[in-house]
Amino acid sequence: MMGTKGRLATILIAITFFGCKGPVQTSAASSGDGGSGGSSGGGILAAAFGGGTRSENVMDTTMNNMVAFSVTVPANWKFQGTLFQGGLETCDSNAFGVWRASSPDGKSMIEQLPVMLWAYGTGPKPTTGCLPINGPVPAQNLLRMVAKQMNLGGVSDEQVPASDVAEAQKYAAPGSTPDLAQGMVHYQKDSVAMQGRLKVSVDCAVRNFPGFHSILRGMPDRPATSTDRCTGAVLFMAAPEGQLAAVTRLWAPPAMGPHTNNDWGWAWVKRKADQGNQMNGAMIAGADARFKAQHDAIARTMQMQQQMHDQFLQTMQDSTNGSIANANASMNARTTAASDMVDYSLNRQTVMDTTTGTIYKVPNQVTVGGSLQQVHGNGQP
């Protein structure tokens, strides 16, 4: 079972993906974001920072609306955010922040997409709520999978800055090694040429389960097994062609972007630990009750066998009497011995690949067609 520090690290890396520094800080001339920022980029920065910034809080409704994390955004940008935890949404019991901020005209945006989770290996693993992936997936491969599902076209790979790698390693769960990738995409949105950057992080943690050597006849040995549980986080930024450099600089300051409430993080982990202890206590109590019932049943059986043995000896001693009553008593003794809101709030849609039955979550701007069919958020037609 993942330890306290491991669970908190998983929550932190999911909510503060690539840290609170936001997108990569690069100069417009070398970033490949299109242009030098010029009057168009300057207009974006001036319009965004002219009204300053504001902090948006995302609450944990399961913990008395305690602030789980906050996101610092330009004051005039729109914001949506929520917290995913447990159930089919996460394939695990951890918590993951999802948020989106968009410019006043809706053309530029940055969003933390819902995390993708999968598990593989020879040990116990979830059977529902996980992606149908049965092995490791490098971040670069996941980057292309996400771009394809979002209809963003081809990806031009970019070098991941060392600062982003260090930030991801800082929040990685014990025993895991984050794998990062990022790339540039170009696509059309409402007849507008768009430019975007995808940043993907894959973090897998292995859990080893010891084997068991049976000492009882009929009970087989149990070999040692292991299970890898993987988390794929995706950060996406987009703007009209020639404006991505300016939007990148807008979100580059450390104050911008997500900030985790550590008090909530520790409280969340403590609650999970308490729930785990309660579950373990119930399992131990159940095991104790079953052991006591088995012990009592064995004691009753031994008592009955002893009584039968005593009766048999008594019967043998009294056999010379030839008493019918004793014969009947012996026979009696032998007889006795034998007996659609989140989709809507996150501006996304759920689609199903009719050829494979696979369910995907994609932004609303993605045009659905071909083998993809729009379905309800729970996957029903």
Out of 31-45, 164-178, 290-304, 352-366, pick the least confident: 31-45
Amino acid at 237: M
325 within domain boundaries:
yes
276 within domain boundaries:
no
Same domain, 329 and 352: no
Same domain, 247 and 292: no
**Global confidence as pTM:** 0.63
Same domain, 76 and 146: yes
pLDDT at 39: 39
User: What residues contact 210, with CB distance under 8 A and at least 6 apart?
Assistant: 224
Greater confidence (4 vs 145) lies with 145
Q: Is the pLDDT of residue 341 over 80?
A: no
**Which tens digit of pLDDT belongs to each residue from 190-244?**
899 999 999 999 988 888 888 777 777 777 778 889 988 888 999 999 999 999 9
Cα–Cα distance for residue pair 341/346, rounded to 1 Å: 9
Sign of the Cα pseudo-torsion (94, 232, 130, 229, in order): negative
Same domain, 171 and 252: yes
Q: Is the pLDDT of residue 12 over 60?
A: no
DSSP string computed for 126-164: -SSSS-S--S---HHHHHHHHHHHTT----EEEPPPHHH
- Domain, as residue range, for 168: 4-209+222-260
Q: What are phi and psi of 238, to 5 degrees?
A: -145, 155
274 within domain boundaries:
no
Same domain, 68 and 164: yes
| Arithmetic mean of pLDDT, 70-74 | 94
Same domain, 252 and 110: yes
3-state SS class at 229: strand
Cα–Cα distance for residue pair 133/124, rounded to 1 Å: 15
- With vertex at residue 239, the alpha carbon angle to CA 58 and CA 72, rounded to the nearest 5 degrees, is 25
Same domain, 9 and 101: yes
**Which tens digit of pLDDT belongs to each residue from 350-360?**
878 888 888 87
216 within domain boundaries:
no
215 within domain boundaries:
no
What the block records as the tokens of 76 is 């005039």
Structural domain tally of the chain? 3
Same domain, 151 and 295: no
Residue 314, judged by CB atoms within 10 A of its CB (0-12, 13-18, 19+), counts as: middle
- Of the ranges 38-52, 156-170, 284-298, which is most confident? 156-170
pLDDT at 19: 41
Same domain, 72 and 157: yes
Same domain, 154 and 97: yes
18 within domain boundaries:
yes
pLDDT at 291: 60
Same domain, 177 and 306: no
130 within domain boundaries:
yes
268 within domain boundaries:
no
Same domain, 356 and 332: no
Greater confidence (318 vs 116) lies with 116
